[in-house]
Amino acid sequence: MYTYQSSKSLFDRAQQSIPGGVNSPVRAFKSVGGTPVFFEKAKGAYLYDVQGQQYIDYIASWGPMILGHGYERVVKAIQQQVAKATSFGAPTALEIEMAELIRSMAPNIDLVRMVNSGTEACMSALRVARGYTGKNKFIKFEGCYHGHADAFLVKAGSGVATFNIQTVPGVTAGAANDTLTCAYNDLAAVQQLVKENKGTIAAIIVEPVAGNMGCILPKPGFLEGLRQLCNEEGMVLIFDEVMNGFRLALGGAQERLGIDADLVTYGKVIGAGMPVGAFGGKRHIMEVVAPLGSVYQAGTLSGNPVAMTAGLTLLNELKNNPQLLTELDNKTQYLKEGLEKELNAWGQPYVINHFGSMISVHFSDHPVTNFEEAAAANNERFKHFFHALLKRGIYLPPSAFESWFLNNALTKEDLDKTIQAVKDSLEEL
Ligand code: PMP
């Protein structure tokens, strides 16, 4: 029987000195209720909380721990680097290696700049697109999340959707007025919006496979249509691959879906759990970035040697063993089939959205293809589902508006245990 006394006292204490007791809102369990679990260590597919209780992990630190926690080669590489230096604020060969490795794996990346988070990557990519085109407006999709820079906090997914925040106080009208939004997968609406704002739009930014309203797949033709529209109108197509990159394929969503982006943002996997992001893309666009051009962008810890070492080790591991991503996809497929079997037996409406190693369950009686449809699902039921699984040692994202992330340390036994826990949880619901 799982108990949470130690987490509860830590949460009480945390709330005295940290807003809401957490350093990122979704961690607070506010939408699912109950006490957030405080963790102490992790190994492979397992998390251990402060009471030593073990959980099978389905968030993988929201993506980075793609090969599992404490991956030995990564740990060793970090230890060796820490002994040499933790930061210079001056160039290192490691940064070149990282840029070359990303270029060798992902399409359309001629130049790439390292940053410290996905937020930085997206806000910088947008600035580059604006600087390059000389235009201010951009299009984003409802329920997509591109970090917490002001311009993106309009109809955003992830925590903003979880907490149902309609307008974020502190984001000025000036910052938000240039943000145009459309429903994900609605190409006709994008075409209309472009028509109405002709000649004023710098970019379209999109999560090719969305993960911040649950997992939502692009309909056939949607991304192709965005590509074509950008070609026709001279807009920059930005793929936010913070979740998709190096997970859906070695070359990310661009490779897996066969669509070229102009700029791409990365995070998560490229840092192997260290704070890292990157933005890059076609040379003629990226050349506007300072010090080559005058679109300023900088970072004291950007390209940090410890973070580069961790990321390089993980990316090389994936590149040298491409079957790892196939294994991970197969495990996700196995989990999906198990979930379907149990959910069918249960008999209530549900939808599973699944692509590669991203997957989410929606308690919905209609397909979930955009934010509105994700929000219309029975998300009250998700809360009970979440807690029923948590107390059986299965750690899902604590929100219906997040994709689950599998890691390749998961064994068939772990997946079977999860499927059994789902069966037991559904009986309890
Ligand atoms: N873009 C996407 C698609 C994301 O999922 C996230 C974070 N989950 C971000 C950007 C922001 O990244 P970070 O939290 O590292 O700032």
| In the chain, where the domains are located | 5-70+322-428, 72-320
Q: Is 145 a catalytic residue?
A: yes
Which residue is it, tokens 């060793």? Answer: 76
Average pLDDT over the chain reads: 97
Name the fold adopted by 5-70+322-428: Aspartate Aminotransferase, domain 1 (3.90.1150)
> Does the CA dihedral 52-53-54-57 come out positive or negative?
negative
Q: Given a cut of 90, is residue 1 above it in pLDDT?
A: no
Q: Is 412 a catalytic residue?
A: no
Tokens of 169: 């106080």
Q: Is 167 exposed, middle or buried (0-12, 13-18, 19+ CB in 10 A)?
A: exposed
Question: Taking every pair of C-alpha atoms in the chain, what is the biggest distance, in angstroms?
Answer: 61
For residue 19, say if its preceding peptide bond is cis, omega within 30 degrees of 0. no
pLDDT digits (tens, 9 = 90+) for 13-56: 999 999 999 999 999 999 899 999 999 999 999 999 999 999 99
Quick one: pLDDT band at residue 162, thresholds 50, 70, 90? confident
pLDDT at 154: 87
Q: Given a cut of 90, is residue 157 above it in pLDDT?
A: no
The model's pTM is 0.97
Q: Is 208 in the pocket of ligand 1 (CB under 6 A)?
A: no
Task: With beta carbons less than 8 A apart as the criterion, state whether 127 and 295 touch.
Answer: yes
> What is the C-alpha separation between 376 and 373, in angstroms, rounded?
5
Quick one: pLDDT band at residue 410, thresholds 50, 70, 90? very high
Whether 5-70+322-428 shares its CATH topology with 72-320 is answered no
Q: Given a cut of 90, is residue 167 above it in pLDDT?
A: no
Nearest CA to ligand 1 atom 14: 118
Q: Which of 155, 268, 282, 331 is catalytic?
A: 268
Angle of CA points 116, 318, 24, to nearest 5°:
30
Across-strand partners of 263?
238, 281
Substitution candidate for ligand 1 out of 115, 119, 162 with most atoms within 8 A of CB: 119
Name the fold adopted by 72-320: Aspartate Aminotransferase; domain 2 (3.40.640)
